[in-house]
Structure 1
Amino acid sequence: MATSQRTSEPVNPVHQDEIWKAHVKAEKDSAKAWPKKWGFLTEVYKEYERESKKLKEKVKVKLPHHLSARPPTPPEKHIHVSPSPPVPRTTQGFIGWRSAHPHLQLEKHSTMHHGRRSFVKELGWPLDACS
């Protein structure tokens, strides 16, 4: 049940409970009345789905061979996973236990280097230009 925003006035829990019961009753009544008032929308939607399926079947165009999609390549062809080294006994040893072995590292070709660049230096401004 919701509590009153004003804490200076006393809260009547019986009154709050009656308000809650009225809200629940209104929800149940509206749920019962909905099919009578708006139930036609479900039939219209089902009819729309049937018509759209029919139109999709009619519009299907066979693509030329050179534009058709190829079957996906299995990942095993490109990804090779080596067996893991033995699992460490402690949680401290868990940190970087696979990356310690060069054949299991993620960077296969070369390491990534990201140099630090300064926007101010690129523009040729003095270093104290931006404060």
Structure 2
Amino acid sequence: MENSQQTSEPPNFVHQDEIWKAHIKIEKDSGESWRKNWGFLSEAYKEYEMKSAQLKMGLQPDLRVRPLTPPQKQIQVGSSSVVPLTSQRFIGWRSGSSCLQLEKYNAVHHGRRSFLKDLGWSPDACS
């Protein structure tokens, strides 16, 4: 079934050719502008491919995974004092002793600094 919008006039080949030329010109110009604006990505990709090929071939032995260190060598905890008799005293009984050298939890101070103030920007610089 033919399209109902077609007319009985013959197609204008010159006009269709001009439209095709305009489409080709837009494609060419956009390719050149992409290379100018985003061409650095293709260079970065080539560098990435070269590095990954070197890693696959094993040319960089310094990037091998080291064997894991056992936790006994990293963490040292001294002996603890006598276990408290009540559950009320049981909470935090090991952290209260200074000889055990455990972390002590203090008040949280996160979020009091402003990234914008550190940079010297006005508060409405980012929205």
TM-score, reference length from structure 2: 0.35
Higher relative contact order (CA 8 A, sep 6+): 2
